Amino acid sequence: HNLNTKLGSSVLLPCNFTQAQNIVSWIQSPTVNVVTITPTGRVNFSDPRFGRIHTFPNEGSLGNYSISISNVNHTDLGCYRCLNQEKCVQVGLVLETGKHYLCPTSIINFCCSSFHCNKLLIIITFTIFAISLLIL
């Protein structure tokens, strides 16, 4: 789904699974790794954006892997994917400027198509496996 936001505001990007997952990764299109979260509360920021990205590590055991972005700027806009080894939650972040949107919804819909998500699931599965080996 799409979220409308304004520059300088804070936004919550929701990601909920029915149960805790081994590892969940947030990726901003096309392939910017943002953060990886484990159900035990371990967080690895690949792109911390100067402390503007926040996680809720204690919620992972409940299946909640949402993140928030504070002080939203232009580089934060676009398509985000919250991925585990089997599922993909997609969120389009669009800038609201009065009655108009900086990024047309059609671009976000294309960006967040299931085809792109399924392709990324294959890539992220291998990445998660490699990260798991490093954590162990």
**Considering the domain 2-135 in this protein, what is its CATH number?**
2.60.40.10
- The pLDDT, as a whole number, for residue 20 is 74
**pTM score > 0.75 for this model?**
no
Q: Which stretches of the chain are assigned E, i.e. beta strand?
A: 2-5, 11-13, 24-28, 32-37, 43-45, 53-55, 67-69, 78-83, 88-97, 100-101
pLDDT digits (tens, 9 = 90+) for 22-61: 889 999 977 789 999 988 888 999 887 888 999 998 888 8
Give residue-wise pLDDT tens across range 58-109: 888 888 999 999 999 988 988 899 988 778 888 888 887 654 444 444 444 4
The one-letter amino acid at 48: P
